[in-house]
């Protein structure tokens, strides 16, 4: 074995090139073994760059599989493997140990009565044994020689207990260390040739793998090369000594290997390089610069905001490529930082790649399987009651709904009706008694469910708010489908009640259930993972060689178990494994710090460093923790940290915050303190950067130090200078880049004009903004349900064509109208909008009387109503605009509803709760009708006029109000309107329609332009008269909902009061036609 140690990551890549340069490109002569996928990609990329050509390298992560394949080439080793059982499959070993605990009385083990506790204890022990194989094989070897390693009295019971379990586990089978002993005894076989000539290990791989390969090297004609960073302890650095106060108690295994140490000082001239060289050779530190920083922030989000500013600076000032930057943190903090990182990088439109270790057990299909298995048996090891909650938990899973095409509305109604009728079809007898059920009538879940589904309540029709979407539960197909699903579930599960099967048989059974009840998709990571897990259990038990059947495994295979144990085994197996999934493959790399240890980067930013090297929780079960783990985990972490520093050439930044700590002084990271103290011995001026909460805080600009803090942020700098000079706040916020196509419908067109900020931030940018003025109204609704007949009528007839025709006198079917009203009242009750204890008959009568009166008044006042015909105008246009030297596309798609016509004259039915007669409201109605007219004219060729028919639901009256001739409607106004939206959405402006309408009532056409602009500016400068957001909103919103915090938190501050002239011209051209002078 050849061990090559260095302090430079580029030398490791050069060594790979040297070792592979004479390989045949047609044979896989060199096997490279690495720790993760990131390193595989980095090696391929770097080798292609060094060689000037890329070719298919033989790189693998699973060293054990490669070892096994090589070992079988030797006939003696192959016979040994065939003769013995080598269980190297975790589930098999856990199952074996579980039965040892169940059937044998062991001296140091308490009697586990619970199946779950017994299995999880077995699982923990097996995990420990594999931990020992990997890092501390000397412990296992000592046990095999019937010795004890620990002399401390307090540790002996734990070692005795583990040793006894180990000996019982391997009475009839061998472990991987036994295989190594066999390989050591085997003589070289020169007549056996294998394709692999070299094996290259990158980094500190598992001890057992290197031991076995070291032995195999003597049997077969190949070389083993280990390429690693030099051990930190060999540098004799005072900083390393300060960070690693404890020494290893047990020396690692020594190999008979040729070792070459290739250490050189780094040649770059920056402060970071001087820190590296100080660690290696105790050289002095150089002059301070911005290459190494320790940065303190107030919280995690602020850490990331500062980091994003640093990266933007590097990209702009240093021409750094995104692929040369990495962002990292501790694995346990990864999911906390990731949303903040994504938010900040997206804000600056910076591309990034995430290596995210996903726990696939949270996937939809696995959740569905768990809920399905809960119907077999409950968590307390008793047969499930097949309760309503459990059934609906399963049916409401997306994978199950998709399998049986169950709609959300259908399921919601079932749940609501079930609650209303107090049906608990899976309840036990005690529960039925408590609910005063007739046990003779309802003595099974089937009786309850049949009563539930076949109830008379399903003879009624239930409609959504918009009556076009109607769900009729009396439909036989729906009833049959739902009954069939639940009965099939019950019958299938009940068939296996109290039965026992072998593990692989249960796996086949559950696979049939999955195929029958859960929708699995191709190319879905979670679904593929689940299928592979089930497949592995169908092949249970397994050993080191899956193809060879052993006598001991046959014994294991014959054991029959109850479903509860199988459920625990499967769930535990699904929970254990986590998969690293890389999103995208370009931009800045975001990954846990141990994943990027052997990568070359120009910049690395380390977040959440306050938790680095935190105290390890001791566990007496784990001998490694007690005797070995603390020192070596500490060493591994510190080693990985310095390896990252060695592999970084230009900037290494450490970030931390104390948002979770009550007393930051006490909880200050020892690692940070020691690094700081060490550097200050050489450079007293080195300080931790402590950042304020805002980029424009004056603290950033008190000192004019070069490269200090973030004074390169020009926007923040300008803001700070304005504040510093006590000038009015007038600065410009960054524009948002519009992306085509922008989809809008008729309602959104009108809504966007009314409140552009709210519309575009909620719809276009997906940010929730809630008006705090609604707070009292919300509280009132929570305390007391508001019941208003006018509100019911408004919801009922707003978009109901049958009721429109009834009111217009076109169809005189009173029974049909009453049926519609009755169904709507029931729907509102189910939705909780109307109190359930109202007198439905009286309410229906009241509503019907008002609609009849409205009908009489409408026909009396407007004779034309009865001859109007409904039009079906489907507006669908794509309009392209050139906006600020960029082509953007608006997609307008919407049915124009409530429009009727007589020949070429069109009428818009506008239902209002109350007819407000103020001038601003009349102007608002004119604008809304004009927008509708624009779309009608754009879509209809023979268009003469558009008139509003206002139907007042308070006064029960109907009248024609505003009217536009087709010549009055300027078709170019559509583009004008969309250009306004382009300005407003890319650069939110506090110009609201209510504000414009006020201006329209106070100006005249002759002097419109100046008056209008002056009034707009006056209104904006007086925020009490305009709508604006404040920090008080924040208690309504989750952090995730505020994705543009700079705009959101400083709404008043971040608007450009020097309004864009192009936008003002567009607004003037569009609105001048609605001007009203004061009378």
- DSSP letter string over 566-599? HHHHHHHHHHH--EEEEE-SSSEEEEEGGGGTT-
What tokens were used for 709? 């803090």
pLDDT computed for residue 391 by the predictor:
82
CB 327 within 8 A of CB 588: yes
CATH topology for 271-359+582-690 is: Rossmann fold (3.40.50)
Dist. CA 842–CA 337, nearest whole Å: 57
Contacts 24+ apart (CB under 8 A), 381-386: 381/114, 381/115, 381/116, 381/564, 383/497, 383/498, 384/426, 384/493, 385/426, 385/427, 385/428, 385/445, 386/426, 386/445, 386/490, 386/493
For 491-535, the pLDDT digits (tens) are: 888 888 889 999 999 999 999 999 999 999 887 878 888 999 999
Parts of the chain belonging to CATH 3.40.50.300: 271-359+582-690
Asked if 49 and 593 count as a contact pair (C-beta separation under 8 A), the reply is: no
Report the C-alpha gap between 1011 and 999 in whole angstroms: 8
φ, ψ for residue 858, nearest 5 deg: -65, -50
pLDDT at 294: 95
- Half-sphere CA count of 188, side-chain side, radius 13 A: 7
pLDDT band, very low/low/confident/very high, at 570 (cuts 50, 70, 90): very high
Residues facing 33 on adjacent strands: 60, 201
End-to-end CA gap in the chain? 100
- What is the token pair recorded at 24? 């045949």
Cβ atoms of residues 43 and 30 within 8 Å:
no
Rounded Cα distance between 532 and 526, Å, is: 10
Q: Do 240 and 233 form a contact (C-beta atoms < 8 A)?
A: yes
Q: Is the pLDDT of residue 342 over 80?
A: yes
Checking if the pLDDT of 602 tops 90, the result is yes
The CB-side HSE value for 857 (13 A sphere, CA atoms) comes to: 16
871 half-sphere exposure, CB direction, 13 A CA radius: 21
For residue 1059, count other CB atoms closer than 10 A to its CB.
Answer: 18
pLDDT of 503 reads: 96
pLDDT at 815 > cutoff 80: yes
In the numeric block, the tokens 């056409």 are attached to 1005
Spatial separation of the C-alpha atoms in residues 898 and 900, rounded to whole Å: 7
Q: What is the mean pLDDT of residues 98-124?
A: 84
For range 688-711, the mean pLDDT: 68
Greatest mean pLDDT range, 98-112, 265-279, 609-623, 870-884: 265-279
Are 654 and 606 contacting, i.e. CB atoms less than 8 angstroms apart? yes
Q: Check residue 1055 and give its pLDDT.
A: 43
Rg of the chain on CA atoms, in Å: 37
pLDDT over 90 (residue 414): no
Could you tell me where the DSSP H helices lie in 708-788?
714-724, 746-754, 756-759, 775-783
Contacts of 174 (CB under 8 A, 6+ apart): 84, 85, 86
Of 202-216, 528-542, 586-600, where does mean pLDDT reach its minimum? 202-216
Residues 6 or more apart whose CB falls under 8 angstroms from that of 936 comprise: 873, 896, 899, 906, 943, 946
Q: How confident is the model at residue 1044 (pLDDT cuts 50, 70, 90)?
A: very low
Q: Three-state DSSP class for 225? A: strand
Proportion of the chain in helix, strand, coil states, percent, rounded to 5: 50, 15, 35
Residue-wise pLDDT tens digits, 288-310: 998 999 999 989 999 999 999 88
Structure-block tokens of residue 420: 């209303």
Q: Nearest to residue 1046, comparing CAs of 343, 311, 341?
A: 343
Distance CA 594, CA 203 (A): 11
Q: Has residue 729 got a pLDDT over 50?
A: no
Q: Mean of the pLDDT values across residues 48-56?
A: 82
Q: Are strands 905-912 and 899-902 parallel, antiparallel or unpaired?
A: antiparallel
* Top-ranked range on mean pLDDT: pick from 267-281, 409-423, 1057-1071: 267-281
Q: Which of 731, 770, 734 is nearest to 1042 (CA)?
A: 770
Residue 725 pLDDT exceeds 60: yes
Is the N-terminal amide bond of 1037 cis, ω within 30° of 0?
Answer: no
Instruction: Please determine, for residue 219, whether its predicted confidence score (pLDDT) is greater than 80.
Output: yes
How far from 468 is each of 405, 687, 746, 809, 911, CA to CA, in Å? 20, 68, 19, 21, 18
Spatial neighbors of 409 by CB under 8 A, at least 6 apart, are: 464, 469, 471
In angstroms, the CA 173 to CA 168 distance is: 10
Burial class (CB in 10 A: 0-12, 13-18, 19+), 299: middle
Residue 973 backbone class (left: φ over 0; alpha: ψ -120 to 50; beta: rest): alpha
Give the Å distances, CA to CA, from 1063 to 947, 1015, 1024: 30, 15, 23
Distance from the Cα of residue 11 to its chain's centroid: 38
């Amino acid at each position: 074995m050849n061990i090559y140690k260095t302090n430079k990551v580029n030398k490791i890549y050069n060594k790979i090139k040297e070792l592979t340069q004479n390989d045949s490109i047609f044979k896989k002569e060199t096997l490279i073994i690495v720790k993760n996928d990131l390193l595989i990609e980095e090696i391929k990329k770097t080798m292609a760059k060094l060689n000037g050509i890329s070719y298919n390298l033989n790189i693998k992560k699973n060293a054990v599989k490669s070892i096994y394949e090589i070992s079988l080439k030797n006939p003696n080793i192959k016979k040994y493997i065939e003769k013995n059982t080598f269980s190297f499959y975790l589930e098999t070993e856990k199952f074996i140990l579980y039965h040892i605990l169940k059937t044998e009385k062991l001296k140091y083990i308490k009697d586990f009565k619970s199946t779950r506790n017994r299995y999880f204890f077995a699982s923990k022990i097996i995990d420990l044994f594999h931990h020992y194989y990997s890092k501390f094989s000397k412990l296992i070897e000592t046990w095999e020689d019937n010795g004890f390693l620990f002399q401390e009295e307090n540790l002996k019971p734990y070692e005795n207990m583990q040793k006894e379990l180990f000996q019982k586990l391997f009475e009839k089978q061998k472990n991987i260390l036994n295989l190594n002993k066999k390989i050591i005894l085997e003589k070289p076989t020169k007549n056996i040739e294998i394709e692999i000539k070299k094996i290259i290990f990158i980094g500190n791989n598992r001890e057992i793998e290197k031991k076995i390969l070291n032995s195999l090297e003597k049997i077969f004609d190949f070389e083993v090369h280990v390429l690693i960073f030099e051990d930190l302890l060999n540098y004799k650095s005072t900083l390393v000594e300060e960070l690693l106060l404890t020494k290893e108690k047990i020396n690692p295994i020594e190999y008979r290997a040729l070792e070459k140490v290739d250490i050189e000082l780094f040649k770059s001239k920056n402060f970071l390089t001087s820190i590296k060289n100080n660690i290696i050779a105790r050289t002095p530190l150089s002059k301070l610069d911005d290459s190494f920083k320790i940065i303190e922030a107030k919280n995690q989000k602020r850490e990331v905001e500062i980091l994003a500013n640093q990266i933007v600076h590097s990209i702009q000032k240093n021409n750094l490529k995104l692929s040369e930057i990495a962002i990292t943190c501790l694995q346990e903090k990864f999911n906390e930082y990731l949303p903040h990182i994504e938010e900040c990088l997206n804000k600056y439109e910076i591309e990034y790649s995430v290596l995210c270790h996903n726990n696939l057990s949270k996937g939809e299909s696995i959740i569905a399987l768990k809920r399905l298995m809960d119907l077999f048996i409950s968590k307390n090891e008793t047969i499930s009651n097949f309760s309503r909650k459990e059934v609906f938990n399963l049916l409401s899973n997306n994978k199950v709904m998709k399998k049986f095409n169950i709609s959300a509305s259908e399921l919601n109604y079932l749940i609501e009706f079930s609650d209303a009728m107090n049906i608990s079809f899976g309840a036990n007898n005690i529960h039925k008694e408590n609910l005063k059920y007739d046990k003779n009538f309802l003595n099974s879940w089937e009786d309850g469910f049949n009563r539930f589904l076949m109830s008379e309540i399903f003879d009624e029709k239930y409609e959504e708010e918009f009556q076009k979407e109607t769900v009729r539960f009396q439909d036989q197909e729906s009833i049959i489908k739902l009954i069939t699903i639940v009965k099939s579930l019950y019958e299938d599960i009940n068939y296996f009640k109290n039965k026992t099967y072998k593990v692989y048989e249960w796996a086949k059974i559950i696979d049939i259930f999955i195929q029958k009840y859960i929708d699995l998709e191709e190319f879905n990571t979670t679904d593929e993972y689940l299928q592979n897990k089930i497949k592995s259990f169908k092949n249970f038990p397994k050993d080191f060689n899956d193809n060879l059947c052993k006598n001991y495994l046959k014994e294991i295979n014959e054991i029959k178990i109850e479903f509860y144990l199988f459920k625990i085994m499967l769930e535990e197996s699904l929970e254990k494994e986590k998969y690293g999934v890389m999103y995208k493959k370009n931009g800045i790399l975001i990954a846990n710090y141990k994943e990027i240890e052997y990568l070359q980067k120009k910049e690395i930013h380390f977040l959440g460093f306050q938790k680095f090297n935190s105290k390890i929780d001791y566990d007496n079960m784990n001998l490694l923790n007690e005797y070995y783990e603390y020192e070596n985990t500490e060493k591994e972490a510190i080693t990985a940290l310095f390896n990252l520093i060695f592999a970084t050439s230009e900037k290494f930044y450490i970030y931390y915050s104390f948002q979770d700590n009550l007393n930051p002084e006490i909880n200050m990271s020892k690692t940070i303190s020691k690094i700081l103290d060490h550097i200050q011995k050489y450079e007293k001026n080195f300080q931790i950067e402590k950042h304020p909460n805002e980029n424009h805080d004056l603290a950033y600009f008190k000192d004019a130090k070069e490269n200090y803090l973030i004074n390169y942020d020009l926007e923040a700098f300008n803001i700070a200078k304005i504040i510093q000079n006590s000038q009015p706040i007038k600065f410009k916020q960054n524009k948002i880049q519009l992306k085509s196509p922008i989809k809008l419908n008729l309602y959104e067109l009108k809504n966007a004009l009314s409140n552009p900020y709210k519309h575009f931030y909620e719809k276009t940018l997906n940010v929730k903004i809630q008006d705090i003025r609604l707070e009292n109204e919300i509280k009132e609704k929570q305390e007391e349900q508001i019941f208003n007949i006018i509100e019911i009528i408004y919801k009922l007839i707003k978009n109901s064509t049958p009721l429109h025709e009834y009111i217009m006198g076109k169809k005189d079917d009173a029974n049909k109208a009453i049926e519609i009203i009755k169904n709507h009242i029931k729907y509102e009750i189910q939705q909780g909008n109307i109190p359930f204890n109202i007198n439905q008959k009286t309410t229906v009568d009241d509503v019907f009387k008002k609609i009849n009166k409205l009908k009489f008044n409408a026909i009396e006042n407007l004779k034309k109503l009865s001859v109007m015909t409904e039009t079906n105008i489907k507006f669908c246009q794509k309009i392209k605009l050139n906006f600020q030297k960029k082509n953007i596309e608006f997609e307008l798609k919407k049915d124009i509803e409530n429009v009727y016509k007589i020949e070429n004259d069109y009428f818009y039915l506008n239902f209002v709760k109350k007819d407000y007669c103020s001038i601003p409201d009349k102007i608002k109605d004119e604008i809304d009708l004009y927008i509708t007219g624009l779309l009608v004219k754009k879509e209809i060729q023979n268009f003469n006029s558009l008139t509003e028919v206002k139907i007042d639901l308070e006064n029960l009256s109907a009248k024609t109000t505003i009217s536009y001739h087709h010549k009055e409607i300027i078709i170019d106004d559509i583009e004008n309107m969309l250009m306004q939206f382009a300005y407003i959405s890319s650069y939110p402006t506090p110009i609201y329609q209510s504000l414009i309408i006020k201006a329209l009532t106070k100006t005249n056409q002759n002097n419109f332009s100046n008056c209008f602009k002056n009034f707009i500016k006056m209104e904006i400068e007086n925020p009490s008269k305009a709508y604006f957001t404040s920090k008080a909103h924040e208690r309504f919103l989750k952090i995730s909902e505020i994705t543009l915090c700079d705009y959101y938190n400083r709404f008043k501050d971040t608007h450009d009061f020097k309004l864009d002239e192009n936008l003002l011209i567009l607004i003037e051209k569009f609105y001048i036609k609605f001007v009203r002078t004061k009378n």
